[in-house]
Amino acid sequence: MKVMRQALHWGGLFHGEIKKCFESYDECPPVAQFYEALISMMPQSRPKEVLFECGGNWGGPGERRASAHFTSCRLTERGWRLASELLERYPRYRENVYVGGDAVRS
């Protein structure tokens, strides 16, 4: 959930109807697109190339996946290296979506 919220924030989408949709556990196209992108970074056939490790029901062939609120993920070693490089280049993305007047605290 935190990864999804941060990604929507960085994408400039975490406000209005999309924020309301995400926080009410509903599925709407922008949230689904970000979730699909996250899922595509999960281990598939080449585990050394993935950015995230996952837990929970991410859906498999013929399965319905759980909402982002009921799954978990964390960066792999490769993901941490890439994230660190990107944050060095783009320090404005260090902004924490959980701090500030409009932030939702977990």
- In tens, the pLDDT along 22-57 reads 888 877 888 888 888 887 777 665 667 788 888 888
In the chain, what are the domain boundaries?
Answer: 2-94
**Sign of the dihedral through C-alpha 45, 50, 54, 57:** negative
pLDDT of residue 105: 38
pLDDT of residue 71: 84
Whether 73 and 42 have beta carbons less than 8 Å apart is answered as yes
| pTM, 2 dp | 0.66
Confidence of residue 84 (pLDDT cuts 50, 70, 90): very high
